[in-house]
Amino acid sequence: MAYIATIVHYDGCSPPEGSNSNTSPSSNPPTNSQSPSQSPRDDLNQFDGENPPFSPPAASPSSSPDPPPPVQLLTPSQRSQTYSTLLNLRSKLPPLISSQNFKEAATVQKQIKRLEALDPYYSLQASLDSAISKEWYRTASKLKKQIDRIGGSPLSIKPTSKSIPQRTPRPSKKLKKGSVEVYNGTFPETPNSSSIKKTSGITVSISSSSSPFSYSVSIKNEFSYPIKLVGREFYVQAVGGEFCDVVKGEGVTNRRPVLEEGEVFEYVSNAPIGVKGLGREVGVAARMGGSYFYVKVGEEENVRRAVIGDFHFLLEEE
């Protein structure tokens, strides 16, 4: 920064007659702290290029407070389910990019970002990796503590299968539209809380939540032509229950959405499920499945079925 001073020579403490006393600050007469023999040039001579002969104004403190620490809103089972879905979606990206199907890759990437936003672990882990690469270890220590507070990595969550004991089946009984294994509470495999099922060109992805009971649905049109969703049929069987509740209706969420090629329709709905004593004992409330019905736009008379893979509503451990 260059300092320019206008030097006015005069004798004594008063400016010469006829001069203007309202000059620039650099041409003012000496103040009480400056002797008459000291000119403004003397102040400039004291500037060494780094420390100016005056104190700069103090910076005002920032008024914005630190952001609050992230809060984990997902249950352990929801985190595990989200992690499994992310692994599945990420595995789809490399072949899509290799085949230069960038439109589909962008759709998958959007779904990945949406799922990662549900769990603060993923953004914290990305920040932690960045801090470590830059050797910001104090910041890395703070981020690690925040990750621990929200439950750590989804990989550290124990599988639900350990909390579901094997039971001796009850005496065989003829059931109406019900599964024997759900009635007895005996499952050959670990009950899943989500499913992905593709029927022809329609892929239905669905996942459940237990607090409260609800399910999230994603329906993707992989045909090369538009389709219209025209109906649905669900069946729900409570663990320990003898019958299935069957729910049928026109459209989806009181609509008949049209899906163009590659388009995805998503929604969330509540599930009024009554938990029986056996369900609490084995940690599974109910099993759900069913179908969506659709038509090709322009061929409304030919109704087709897209199957919903069976999934379960799991109870959180108390």
- 202-239: pLDDT as tens digits: 999 999 988 788 999 999 999 999 999 999 999 999 99
Cα–Cα distance for residue pair 258/255, rounded to 1 Å: 9
pLDDT at position 306 is: 96
Alpha-carbon gap, residue 294 to 280, rounded angstroms: 37
Rounded alpha-carbon distances, angstroms, from residue 104 to 17, 100, 207, 216? 85, 9, 22, 21
- At 221, which helix (H) or strand (E)? strand 213-221
Q: Tell me which DSSP letter residue 71 carries.
A: -
The domains located in the chain, with CATH, are 1-57 (no CATH), 68-157 (no CATH), 160-318 (2.60.40.1470)
Q: What span, in angstroms and rounded, lies between the C-alpha atoms of 235 and 223?
A: 27
DSSP, res 163: G
pLDDT of residue 242: 84
Three-point CA angle 100, 103, 108, nearest 5°: 100
Tokens linked to 184: 């007895």
- Is residue 101 predicted with pLDDT exceeding 60? yes
Tokens 């049928």 belong to 248
Q: What are phi and psi of 79, to 5 degrees?
A: -65, -45
What is the pTM for the complete model shown? 0.48
Q: Is pLDDT at 317 greater than 90 in this prediction?
A: no
